[in-house]
Amino acid sequence: MTDRKNMILFVTDQWRWDTLNALGHPAKLPHLKAFQKKATSFPNAFTTVPLCTPARASLFTGKLPHQHGTMDNVQGKSFFPHGKLHPAQRTYLEGLQAEGYHVAFVGKWHLGDGTLLDRGITDVTLSDGGDTPLTAGTDVTFDAPRHSPYYGTITKGQPLDAQRVDAAIAMLPKLAQSDRPFCLVLALHAPHFPHHVPAEYVALYDDLPEDFTPANWCPPFREQGKPAAQSAPWHSSHATADMTMQDWRRTTQHYWAFCSWVDAQFGRFDAAVSDAGLETSTVMVVTSDHGEMLGAHGWFDKGPFFYEEVIRIPMMIRDPATAGGTERQNFVSFHDLFPTLMERAGATTGDPDRSFWKTQAEHAFYVYDAYQGRQFRFRGIRGARYKYAWSPHDTEELYDLKSDPGERSNRAGDPALAAVQQDLKARLFAWMKANDDWLLGPAHHPPVGSYIDGRDTSEHHVQPG
């Protein structure tokens, strides 16, 4: 083994920050909490964009969506063929492989079917980057009631991610015995919906109050003073007008149960890492691409907005050279994660100055361009107290997170916060300019939610029931 450390990324999908970080949160996550005590936590970690494909493209390239060009989900089929990350966009995985690392990928890639193999990454298992469909089915049996994709209780069988964890565990002894350092990515689909969860984990939350809703729940599409982008469902999962309060309760119960199920899978995997003798030679991270609304503001899933529920992400890194159980308060972004891991591991490529250990940012920036083939053009900045979002074709937003942690009252245009808004807008525009953001330049901006290919906003539109 060389002096370079190994790297393991345990990446979930749509995992909320508060389950691991909010004091007194009811989510039961014993294995991740134990890992947290051995890791460095970054409570001010934010996704680059709260949407799966562009966030993952930013993770693996280190670039912003307008720089790597993959601005919509693969299924949106709006950009380079069918949403795939363009072959010219080199990822850190290829760079690490060229540097001598063994690169192995298990699970959700979501950047184009088969395209990991196309990039020369051949150790690919149960992944859409290889030859497995993105959400390949498993033989499971459900109990009633079931309201998919929001909730469903599995009475027999396991989600596909259990097989992915099994596969990664099986790799560890061979990787540990190699004289080459390795980078292993274990990327789960969970706890992304559909929230189909084994019954024993659902039962952990049977005591959830019958009248449970998030503090900032409201009927969908009814909030005042919000951007037009928040006024309609843009995906079938957004059409929640028929959801009863019991449906929302069951949805939360199953989401937290899914998180507990993932926690159990992580526990198995982390124990296997230890059994293989890899703890002292491996930098290991647990994170997620973005969060989940789970009823906040009446929304399910995610959408073209920057609420805390979707932009804030868990971020824990266990580095054998660093004392565990610590926190760093600097603001960090998902697309700087690989430079951080490479700096910690001693890789010779990468950009060590972007490491979370070397930056002291007090603001995070994030973007949004498209969703399901539709155009939503937003940029945002978040500091310790205030959050601001700007759009060239929609309403600006400003939130005071101290007095309004649920982000119910849009204070943009409020004279009392004019100086705050001006300062954040100036910082945001300076960041956009520094990153050659096309959205700063003069351009025609079509209606909010209109299709990239020219279709009218109303076409194929799912109306609330």
- pLDDT tens digits for range 212-232: 999 999 999 999 999 999 999
- Residue 462 has a pLDDT of 44
Write the pLDDT tens digit of every residue in 72-126: 987 655 555 666 899 999 999 999 999 999 999 999 999 999 999 999 999 999 9
- Residue 441 has a pLDDT of 86
> Phi and psi at residue 451, in whole multiples of 5°?
-75, 145
Is 461 a residue whose pLDDT tops 70? Answer: no
Reported as a pLDDT band with limits 50, 70 and 90, residue 444 is confident
What's the N-to-C CA distance of the chain in angstroms?
Answer: 60
DSSP string, 123-146: EEES-TTTTS-TT-----EEEEEE
Is 465 a residue whose pLDDT tops 70? Answer: no
Is 437 a residue whose pLDDT tops 60? Answer: yes
| 462's tokens | 């799912």
**Bond before 464 cis per omega within 30 degrees:** no
Mean pLDDT of 364-379: 94
Arithmetic mean of pLDDT over the chain: 94
3-state secondary structure of 293: coil
Reported as a pLDDT band with limits 50, 70 and 90, residue 457 is confident
Total-model pTM? 0.96
- Residue 373 has a pLDDT of 85
Strand partners, 153: 143, 197
Is 363 a residue whose pLDDT tops 80? Answer: yes
Is 62 a residue whose pLDDT tops 90? Answer: yes
- Residue 1 has a pLDDT of 42
Amino acid residing at 196: H
The half-sphere exposure of 147 on its side-chain side, counting CA atoms within 13 A, is 17
Q: Are 363 and 216 in contact (CB under 8 A)?
A: no
Write the pLDDT tens digit of every residue in 30-49: 999 999 999 999 999 999 99
Strand partners, 287: 11, 315
- Residue 456 has a pLDDT of 72
- Residue 79 has a pLDDT of 56
